[in-house]
């Protein structure tokens, strides 16, 4: 049996009532969170909302979403 760790990072589209999870294998960092959101947008949501000019992100403020992390400012 292989051992390792999986770091999930999920997004939820309220309007479409759909979720998406990116699985990493290193750490729950702000960089991983931002890259997960970027992948989610490019792979799914950009096609669903082609006229969107902004993206509202509501984060829980813990871990990689911490308010002190510079990537969120």
pTM recorded for the entire structure: 0.70
Q: Quote the pLDDT of residue 19.
A: 93
Give 13-59 pLDDT, tens digit per residue. 999 999 999 998 877 777 888 889 999 999 989 999 999 999 888 77
Strands 7-13 and 18-24: antiparallel
- Residue 73 pLDDT exceeds 70: no
Domain count, the chain: 1
pLDDT number for residue 49: 93
In a domain, 43, yes or no: yes
Q: Is 72 part of any domain?
A: no
List the domain range (segments joined by +) for residue 12: 7-67
At residue 69 the predicted structure's pLDDT band, cuts being 50, 70 and 90, is: low
58 within 8 A of 48, measured Cβ to Cβ: no
């Amino acid at each position: 049996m292989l051992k390792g760790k999986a770091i999930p990072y999920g997004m939820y589209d309220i309007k479409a009532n759909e979720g998406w999870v990116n699985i990493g294998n290193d750490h729950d960092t702000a960089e991983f969170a931002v890259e997960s959101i970027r992948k989610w947008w490019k792979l799914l949501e950009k096609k669903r909302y082609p006229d969107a000019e902004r993206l509202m992100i509501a984060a829980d403020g813990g871990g990689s979403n911490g308010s002190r992390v510079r990537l969120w400012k």
